Amino acid sequence: MPTYRNPHVRDAVRQLNKRVTNPLSMALAGRRYWYASVIRHTGRNSGRRYQTPVVVITTPDKILVPLPYGTGVDWLRNVLAAGSATVVTKGRTVEVVQPRVIDAATAEPQLPGWWRWITRTVDVDNFLEADLQT
Strand, helix or coil for residue 79: helix
Question: What's the pTM?
Answer: 0.83
From 3-7, 16-20, 97-101, the region with the lowest mean pLDDT: 3-7
Higher pLDDT, 49 or 9: 49
* pLDDT, tens only, 76-100: 999 999 999 999 999 999 999 999 9
Q: Are the C-beta atoms of 69 and 58 separated by less than 8 Å? A: no
- CATH number, domain 7-132: 2.30.110.10
User: Alpha helix (H) ranges present in 2-73?
Assistant: 7-16, 22-25
Domain ranges for the chain: 7-132
